[in-house]
Amino acid sequence: MAIDKNRHGIMPSPADWKNGTPLNMKEAKRMTTGRFAGKAEHKYDYSAIQFEIPAFGWASSEKQVGLWMVNPSIEYLSGGATKVELAGHLDVSEGAAPTLLNYWRGSHYGGSVCEIAAGEEWTKVIGPFLIYCNSGSDGEGLWKNGPQQATNEKKSWPYDWVQGVDFPSASKRGTIRGRIVIHDDTPLGFTNLLVGVTHPDYKASERGGPGLVDWQQDAKYYEFWTKGDSEGRFEIPQVHPGKYTLHAIADGVLGELTITDVAVNPSQVTDLHSLQWKPVRHGKQLWEIGVANRSAEEFFRGNDYWHWGLYLEYPKDFPKDVHYTIGKSDYRKDWNFTQCPRPDRPVGTPWTIEFNLQESSEGHAILRVGLASSSARKIDVAVNGNPAGTIANLTDTATIRRDGIRGYWREREVAFPANLLVKGTNTMTLTIPSGNAMSGVQYDYLRLEIDQQK
């Protein structure tokens, strides 16, 4: 039995996997035997956000045993509180053995970077983590026991028996606390507030050239994250001494709070008191689509996405492509969770947003797009049939082909003259290039703002 945030149930047997019929990739097969005959099984069905699954693994109702990975902390894992990783699978090698994975340098859904220069002195302690075995006749009980053990391990962190490596004891670590106060056009209170301290962004030459590594990609340094409460209060315990950059993200808020040069001292509490967060806005908001939550989960199929090949269903679900009318359409059913190329659109697959304005505008309009994942090369933007800009240089996070809903998140902006907009009905078209059905994008959130200053 495989259990994680996305899947809780019985898995095919290794024999079922071996007898399956390959689909569009070797990691996906349609079962021809066993209780799942006729259904698709995908290697990446067993992925989850690492921060949310301190215990994950397999259990056998026949053998009455369980095997679990337990991470008492995510400080040594890459990508912080939003990193999605593969946690286990039926191995694609000979034997199809059920496999558990504990990625400290996550390579999926946007990957991570750990570049060590020649002659550089560098240390990082991975773990200690626990490989936990339990037994019993109740499979559900075996699963419930896994998180219970994870809670116990977290209470014991950092382990006092670890010596001889770069692993500060509890007395040599510090705590950060404070309260975030937001100033924005949002309801009072936070939903899913995540606060972390990380190494400052830095340059690395991996992946074909120099680039800036942020906390979502970093695997070289430690990261410390916690969940804040609805009133913005947070406390991050057991932080290594040093100087950090603090980050905060929350559902419903585009962007993040960033505060540099936060010092942590041994055996001390760093109280940051009240931190003022004023999210970036370029001007008056004309409309928005979705929820800024770094995921496409609120869109059509977004709450039931973990099934192989849903990108192949798009032409059936939206035979005329997405045509979204502001004020009338519902993003939960009228905006697909993936914009993917379709074979009958050789010049690109367009999505159209229709909206009305009470008056013409001057100055500049800014389209702000949060991307939950990308595999397309670019997105062309047109306003009322006129080219308005391009979202280019998108990197492949391989999320869509892994049946995911979120990968490396980024925000992109397209600014254009506001006089492209007219009084009355307007259209904005987002077009992705032709390609296979998996080479699309997943939107997190879209907002059109207007700055009428010339």
Strand-pairing partners, residue 42, are: 28
pLDDT at 4: 38
pLDDT at 42: 93
Domain boundary among 249, 277, 305: 277
38 and 30 in contact (C-beta within 8 Å)?
A: yes
- Does 403 fall in a domain? yes
CA distance 453 to 417: 11
Find the CATH number of the domain harbouring 401.
Answer: 2.60.120.260
Give the length of the chain: 454
- Do 209 and 74 lie in one domain? The reply is no
CA trace torsion 163, 164, 169, 175 (10° rounding): -150
Domain boundary among 259, 277, 295: 277
Tell me which H or E stretch contains 333: helix 331-334
- Do 63 and 12 lie in one domain? The reply is yes
pLDDT at 7: 45
70 and 103 in contact (C-beta within 8 Å)?
A: no
pLDDT at 413: 98
Tell me which H or E stretch contains 30: strand 28-30
**Closest by Cα among 230, 229, 226, 247 to 175:** 226
pLDDT at 207: 53
Total tally of structural domains belonging to the chain: 3
248 and 192 in contact (C-beta within 8 Å)?
A: no
CA distance 87 to 84: 9
- Does 191 fall in a domain? yes
pLDDT at 206: 62
Domain boundary among 260, 277, 294: 277
- Does 46 fall in a domain? yes
- Do 345 and 212 lie in one domain? The reply is no
The CA–CA distances, whole Å, from 220 to 124, 241, 243, 339, 367 equal 8, 16, 15, 33, 34
- Do 72 and 185 lie in one domain? The reply is no
Find the CATH number of the domain harbouring 255.
Answer: 2.60.40.1120
- Do 138 and 246 lie in one domain? The reply is no
Structural domain boundaries enclosing 198 = 170-277
The residue type of 359 is: E
pLDDT at 138: 85
> What is the tens place of the pLDDT at every residue in 152-196?
999 999 999 999 999 999 999 999 999 999 999 766 789 999 999
User: pTM of the full predicted structure?
Assistant: 0.95
Residue ranges of the chain whose pLDDT lies below 70 = 1-9, 186-187, 206-210, 454
Report H helices in 283-330. Answer: 314-317
- Do 344 and 200 lie in one domain? The reply is no
